Amino acid sequence: MVKTLHDVCLTCIQKRLDKIPDVGRRLPNVHKEILLERLVNHDILTEHYFKAVQKSLFMNNLRRVTLYKSDQLTDAMLKTLGERCPSMHQLTIHMCSKITDNGIKSVTKTQKELMILELRKLANFTGKGLELLKSPTLKLLDLRGCNAVTNEAVETVTRNNPTISSLIIYDCGQLSPQVFASIAQALRHNLEEIEGCPRPMTDENITALARFCPNLTNLNLLGSSKLTGNALLELSQGCTRLESLDLSYCYGLQESPDNQFLWTLPTSLTHLSLCGVLLADEDLVVETLQRLRHLKSVRLCGIPAINDITFPKILQHIGGSLEVIDISGSRVLTDVGLAAVAKYCTCLLELDLSISKLLTGHTLLPLLRDPERAPLLRKIFLSVQKIQAEVLMAMAERCCNLEKFDAAGVEKVSDHLLMTMAANCPRLKHVGIKGCKQVTDTGVCAIARCCPLKSLVLSGIQSITDKTVFTVSNHCHNLEEIYLNGCSNVSTTTINYLIDNCLPRVYVQHKTPNLVSEHIMGKNIDTGEFCRMDLLMDSGSAR
């Protein structure tokens, strides 16, 4: 992917804000927001340059501000932002190490039109900085990864902003389950979504949501191991509009009599996850899922009751509406039962078969070769040791709208497969081919040149060299993360080049205990490819 003229022009402006006269008045609002985000991403927000930023970009009409992974951003800068831009609609501050409660307080206390506030992974933020936030339009509050946030802070911000409809509290380690009751009483009928839950959740915490929040549509209870059938019944009766429910690893629902209450789940559900709930009662699982006729997404990872007899019975009733199926980790399902996917699923967008040891995937061929259904697929997870090469090629040739592909550890993944995907899958953004030993620079470079990659997992591929990293650097300007663990032929110098050349803040993981010494790289003027100079010199000497 080549940089567009639009990107090149914005890059020129971001480096010359202090030199272009009256640039703030000439720039459209959307470009000011983009420039501010880029300045943060590229560590250009120094105290010296901040004067130009303040003058040219901090205007009253800024609506969407994103500040990501910056060690330069300070509380003082946030204070200036809050004073100059009191009418923001969306504010995102993510992994900024110097930001404390003081900075958050100064930037949020003036906001009266804020609708979305995302404060993620802020190590020095306890939540006290939100005590003055009172925005009558606030709908979404995201505090994921803020480990120091307290119950008191969450109770205060929800009490002062009762319009919040979506609350995300993943990985907030200081929160206790009792905060659920306070959240429910503060937000009441306005609360529609709550993601993340402190552990261990008890029935009392769950029933508080059921009693006070009748409009709840999205609830994630992943890991609530003490949840019982009685609480599930109250939830089903009190929250009749539930659309998405994650009961993954709720071990209390595995055995009778608690598992019987799965029959009471509201028929309004469109997304259900039962991953890790080791249900063995086949009739229970079949009848539970058959009655949920509106399901679009079902995750049944590792459930022993999913086998060649039960799986077709389930899909016969709900397969026509399913867009997402996750049956990863199955130890009993074979290709006989898997054939139901191709037979009944007409609008599938995502399929996960990972770590299902008995599957070869050949009964999926009617689906993957269907000219109408194959282009619908967006995500495919095929980390299955026995997967057939024919299945992989059918996917590469026909799934032209594929965005995410993962086949970690699959030996049949080859350069030819990747080159076919490069030619046929122009929307591919996430590729995971960890440990695929047949892959070399040739296949990965083909993908990098043709696809707008955001995530690339190449760990454990010994044949990958600096050539791949240079190609990714020069074509994948929107790369967000790359994993190169164990790629001993990739040098640190090349990694640094990658970090400098990618547009967003890229996350690189490159751990290799036996890393070879640094190689000098150079660009071949004739071919345009990057090559190791020591090898070129050796070949020249041989001639």
pLDDT score recorded for residue 298: 98
Could you give the CA distance from residue 319 to residue 317 in angstroms, rounded to a whole number? 6
pLDDT at 131: 96
- What does the pLDDT read at residue 541? 44
Q: Does domain 418-542 have CATH number 3.40.50.2300?
A: no
Low-confidence ranges of the chain (pLDDT < 50): 1, 517-518, 527-528, 541-543
Terminal alpha carbon distance of the chain: 36
Measuring CA to CA, how many Å separate 386 from each of 9, 333, 359, 410? 49, 13, 6, 8
* DSSP alpha helix (H) spans, 361-407: 365-368, 389-398
- Tens digit of each residue's pLDDT (9 = 90 or more) over 323-335: 999 999 999 999 9
- Residue 2 has what pLDDT? 58
Query: Residue 506 in contact with residue 473, Cβ under 8 Å?
Result: no
**From the CB of residue 200, how many other CB atoms can be counted at a distance below 10 Å?**
13
User: Is the separation of the CB atoms in 245 and 216 below 8 Å?
Assistant: no
**pTM of the shown model:** 0.85
Three-class SS state of 396: helix
Q: What is the pLDDT of residue 535?
A: 54
